[in-house]
């Protein structure tokens, strides 16, 4: 993998080169700078995108990636532009039933597999909101009520369906089986002679599914089978991936809305976002898709009642539009999107967890001891695969940027994740650098009060530190930095630091950065000379988030700053709220 990301080294080094003295700054979780909006014009980003192109030129030519037998489409996208920031396409040589001049492009259709689940949950929230997450599934799927009664006498062999919530299903915390009869049911894949030769006993006739892969199960057959299947875990205990959960969620939503799930996903998501090459249950025309040799059956195959788990088809341009729609709150409200893009469960990997149904990955931008050691970027990821197709969508909310990949053919195992691992180390450092450079242009500088009032503040950015740094802060002739540190911490602090971070609170100026727009920042006031608790079991270096708004003057917090922007998006003034004085930015 290093041979693919070697070109990213200069961008990574600027993040990791400088080791901090004392404890690294602990920013508030979330973006360190306002989300960048001028990425297409950023020299830092353009250099990174050239490195991506070079990395995938190598990737395309590497035999172990099976470039002759696998086609792929990739894009990097931003909420601030309808055009892809970067795109890359590779067409396998041995395509089936395609004209000789066929090439993969932005509108080429692939199957998505489990990436379908993002459409399923987005449809659920759009129709029913997210306030029902703690409701039991038995409230909305009556077939589960008699099965739940069985659990009262035997919790080991019967799922406690009354304790399985909608949120538990959405976050893979329900403790139920992965699939019913579709995948992994050996009686659907081998005859009894083969299985008994491997050591299995003869299967009880009344427990062998009569439907599954060859003959899809209808709703009645599913619930008849679920009466036999035991739970995997007690509900709400540990993550256990489940496709079945998403089929049950679609049934619940149909009960809540009295509409068909197909109708809802098509009207709420596909039509609303203008996804003209996205299909839920209908098979797209062959001419739209990339179909590997011998995979016509895999292209046409429908999951039937299980479609909400992984049946969809789409193009890379449509998946990028889906990502933009999430960032822009086109379908969901801003509050719903923020709640959706938050962790719901943890896994055995300390940097990994689950959401609804996102996987999330916590990515450290600097090594231990560096000034960015505590700068964490949370990514939200969903991958999928179905027969010879694979997909992945990765969202980076700190920047309102994402990237995606769709593959078809004889791709090596985890090829979608390998592509993400190639893109990430090149893209993330450049995004953080571009965001800092844009923040420096828009916010850094000295702000002063009008007339004879001796009040001012000087802000700057540092490539090796998160947020806007307060270099100097004077109020009515007094050193306000020392005053703020004393009230927020204590006297005698030897490593004082005040850095400002975006709060997400904005008003005015329309939907863009029009004149008069107000943007709030929060100060993190800390002592970087504190005792290092990096090796402690319970203590932490980053408990600083608990100290927000600890100092208030006449109801206004000392650590809150409100900037007013001009029509060009650049700050014209700032008001430290507690001090109630507008400071104008020097030209």
State the total domains in the chain.
3
Q: Are residues 452 and 404 in the same domain?
A: no
Q: Is position 158 within any domain?
A: no
Whether 230 is covered by a domain: the verdict is no
What are the helix (H) ranges across 8-138? Answer: 9-16, 43-60, 116-128
Residue 169 located in a structural domain: no
Residue 295: which CATH number?
3.40.710.10
Same domain, 289 and 386: yes
Classify 561 in phi/psi space as left (phi over 0), alpha (psi -120 to 50) or beta. Answer: beta
Token digits for 159? 């799922």
What 8-state DSSP symbol labels residue 509? Answer: S
Q: What is the dihedral of CA 116, 119, 121, 123, to 10 degrees?
A: -150
Alpha-carbon distances, residue 505 vs 291, 336, 558, 562 (angstroms): 47, 16, 17, 9
For residue 133, tell me if it sits in a domain. no
Q: Strand locations in 331-467, DSSP E?
A: 345-346, 352-354, 359-364, 376-386, 389-396, 401-409, 445-448, 456-460
- Do 279 and 410 lie in a common domain? yes
Do residues 278 and 372 share a domain? yes
Residue listed under structure tokens 């700078």: 33
Q: Which residue range forms the structural domain that includes residue 510?
A: 444-585
How do the pLDDT tens digits run along the chain, 587 residues long? 333 333 333 333 333 333 335 789 999 999 999 999 999 999 999 999 999 999 999 999 999 999 999 999 999 999 999 999 999 999 998 875 555 678 999 999 999 999 999 999 999 999 999 999 999 999 999 999 999 999 999 999 999 999 999 999 999 999 999 999 887 789 888 889 999 999 999 999 999 998 988 889 999 999 999 999 999 999 999 999 999 999 999 999 999 999 999 999 999 999 999 999 999 999 999 999 999 888 889 999 999 999 999 999 999 999 999 999 999 999 999 999 999 999 999 999 999 999 999 999 999 999 988 999 999 999 999 999 999 999 999 999 999 999 999 999 988 889 999 999 999 999 999 999 999 999 999 999 999 999 999 999 999 999 999 999 999 999 999 999 999 999 999 878 899 999 999 999 999 876 554 678 999 999 999 999 988 888 899 999 898 889 899 999 999 999 999 999 999 999 999 999 999 999 999 97
State whether residue 527 is helix, strand or coil.
Answer: strand
Is 244 a domain residue?
Answer: no
Domain stop point among 438, 459, 475: 438
Would you say 23 and 528 are in contact if contact means Cβ atoms under 8 Å apart?
yes
Q: How far is CA 102 from CA 56, 63, 425, in A?
A: 20, 22, 32
Q: 448 and 434, same structural domain?
A: no
Angle among Cα 516, 517, 521 to the nearest 5 degrees reads 130
Both 344 and 280 in one domain: the answer is yes
List, in order, residues 6 or more apart from 100 with CB less than 8 Å away.
Answer: none
Please state, in angstroms and rounded to a whole number, the distance separating the CA atoms of residues 127 and 207. Answer: 37
Does one domain contain both 472 and 578?
yes
455 and 573 share a domain?
Answer: yes
364 and 453 share one domain = no
| Same domain? 458 vs 430 | no
Helix (H) or strand (E) holding 308: helix 307-310
Domain stop point among 438, 466, 490: 438
Residues 456, 402, single domain; the answer is: no
In Å, how far are 238, 289, 435, 473 from 172, measured between CA atoms? 8, 31, 34, 49
Q: Which of 392, 419, 438 finishes a domain?
A: 438
User: Number of C-alpha atoms within 13 angstroms, CB side, residue 203?
Assistant: 19
What pTM was computed for the model?
A: 0.93
């Amino acid at each position: 993998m290093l041979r693919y990301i070697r070109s990213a080294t200069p961008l990574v080094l600027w993040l990791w080169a400088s080791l901090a003295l004392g404890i690294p700054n602990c920013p508030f979780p979330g973006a360190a700078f306002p989300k960048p909006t001028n990425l297409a014009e950023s020299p830092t980003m353009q250099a990174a995108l050239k490195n991506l192109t070079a990395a995938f030129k190598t990737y395309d030519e590497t035999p172990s990636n099976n470039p002759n037998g696998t086609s792929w489409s990739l894009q990097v996208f931003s909420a601030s532009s309808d055009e892809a920031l970067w795109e890359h396409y590779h067409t396998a040589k041995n395509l089936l039933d395609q004209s000789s001049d066929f090439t993969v492009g932005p509108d080429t259709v692939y199957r998505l597999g489990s990436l379908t689940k993002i459409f399923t949950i987005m449809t659920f929230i759009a129709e029913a909101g997210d306030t029902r997450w703690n409701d039991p599934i038995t409230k909305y799927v009556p077939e589960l009520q008699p099965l739940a009664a069985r659990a009262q006498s035997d919790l080991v062999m019967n799922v406690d369906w009354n304790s399985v919530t909608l949120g538990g299903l959405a976050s893979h915390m329900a403790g139920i089986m992965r699939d019913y009869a579709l995948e992994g049911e050996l009686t659907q894949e081998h005859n009894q002679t083969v299985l008994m030769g491997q050591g299995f006993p003869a299967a009880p006739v009344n427990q062998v599914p009569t439907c599954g892969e060859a003959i899809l199960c209808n709703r009645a057959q599913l619930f008849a089978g679920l009466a036999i299947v035991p739970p995997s875990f007690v509900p709400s205990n540990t993550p256990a991936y489940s496709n079945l959960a998403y089929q049950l969620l679609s049934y619940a939503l149909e009960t809540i809305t009295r509409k068909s799930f197909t109708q809802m996903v098509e009207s709420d998501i596909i039509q609303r976002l203008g996804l003209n090459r996205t299909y839920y249950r209908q098979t797209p025309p062959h001419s739209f898709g990339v179909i590997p040799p011998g995979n016509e059956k895999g292209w046409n195959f429908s999951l039937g009642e299980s479609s909400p788990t992984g049946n969809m088809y789409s193009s890379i341009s449509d998946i990028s539009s889906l990502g933009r729609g999430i960032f822009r709150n086109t379908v969901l409200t801003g509050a719903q999107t923020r709640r959706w893009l938050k962790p719901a469960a943890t896994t055995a990997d300390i940097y990994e967890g689950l959401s609804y149904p996102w996987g999330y990955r916590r990515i450290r931008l600097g090594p231990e001891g560096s000034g960015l050691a505590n700068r964490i970027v949370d990514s939200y990821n969903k991958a999928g695969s179905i027969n010879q197709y694979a997909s992945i969508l990765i969202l980076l909310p700190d920047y309102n940027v994402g990237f995606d990949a769709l593959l078809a053919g004889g791709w090596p195992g985890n090829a979608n994740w390998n592509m993400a691992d190639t893109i990430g180390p090149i893209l993330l450092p450049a995004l953080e650098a571009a965001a800092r450079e844009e923040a420096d242009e828009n916010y850094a500088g000295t702000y002063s009060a009008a007339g004879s009032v001796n009040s001012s503040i000087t802000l700057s950015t540092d490539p090796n530190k998160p947020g806007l740094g307060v270099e100097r802060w004077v109020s009515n002739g007094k050193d306000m930095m020392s005053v703020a540190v004393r009230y927020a911490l204590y006297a005698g602090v030897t490593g004082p630091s005040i850095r400002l971070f975006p709060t997400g609170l904005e008003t005015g100026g329309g939907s863009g950065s029009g004149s008069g727009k107000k943007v709030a920042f929060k100060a993190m006031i800390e002592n970087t000379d504190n005792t290092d608790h990096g090796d402690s079991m319970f203590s932490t270096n980053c408990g600083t988030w608990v100290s927000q708004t600890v100092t208030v003057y006449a109801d206004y917090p000392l650590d809150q700053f409100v900037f007013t922007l001009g029509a060009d998006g650049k700050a014209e003034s700032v008001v430290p709220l507690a001090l109630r004085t507008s400071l104008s930015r020097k030209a």
